[in-house]
Amino acid sequence: MSRVGNKPIPLPKGVKINIGNEILVEGPKGKLKVPVPEGISARQADGNLELLRDSDQRAALHGLTRALAAAAVHGVSSGFTRELDITGTGYRADVKGKIATFTLGYSHPIELLLPDGVDLKIDKQTHLVLSGYDKQMVGQVAANIRALRPPDPYKHKGVRYTGEVLRKKAGKTAAGAGAAK
């Protein structure tokens, strides 16, 4: 039994649902489509969106579809944010329009084009706040930015998610005298 799939999704004010082969979710922040697999049906009742399945073979798809629909409803009503921190001497970021420029210790600055629906705000050149209505897209852009210079466990330099805990590794230590003969 899918406990996630049976949970109703409350619809906030200003969110419109159109149910067909896919669920079209419209809100103040944008529009999203959620595919509805075969054997799963959706209905709107009492200000909630409910997803039903025709057999227990579809329990996993039931929970997945409900989670995607809930993310779409949350995204078009209030949106998602992802925060990143840049640590390292001389490492910084700048944004002009839809182009973000990163200086991360390479011989050249790195430019990244932000997709439509994702906004980037930068505080003090080292704290980035990504926001948007599509959870998957915001997370993917954050992962792409982090991949430009992943956090280094030895020097703690790089781009990391805010609150991400890194285990600092000890570097090489000099061996005792006479160890390398």
Domain boundary among 61, 77, 93: 77
Residues 87 and 152 in one domain: yes
Confidence of residue 177 (pLDDT cuts 50, 70, 90): low
Angle between helices 59-77 and 135-148 (to 10 degrees): 80
Q: Domain end: 22, 53, 77, which one?
A: 77
Residue 26's SS3 state is: strand
Q: Are residues 37 and 89 in the same domain?
A: no
- What is the predicted pLDDT for the residue at 176? 58
Residue pointed to by tokens 């799939």 = 5
> Looking at the structure, do residues 73 and 84 belong to the same domain, yes or no?
no
Q: Are residues 42 and 71 in the same domain?
A: yes
Residue 180 pLDDT > 80 = no
User: Tell me, what's the pLDDT at 55?
Assistant: 86
Residue 123 located in a structural domain: yes
Q: Do 149 and 88 belong together in one domain?
A: yes
Average model confidence (pLDDT) across the chain: 87
Q: What is the mean pLDDT of residues 173-179?
A: 65
Residue 16 lies in a domain: yes
Query: Is 178 part of a structural domain of the chain?
Result: no
Biggest CA pair distance of the chain: 80
Task: Show the domain range for 99.
Answer: 80-161
Residue 125 in domain: yes
**Mean of pLDDT values over 152-158:** 87
Do strands 118-123 and 110-113 pair parallel, antiparallel, or not at all (unpaired)?
unpaired
Q: What is the CATH number of the domain that holds 15?
A: 3.90.930.12
Q: What would the pLDDT profile of 23-68 be if each residue is shown by its tens digit?
A: 999 989 889 999 988 888 888 888 888 888 888 888 888 889 999 9
**φ, ψ at 104 (rounded to 5°):** -125, 35
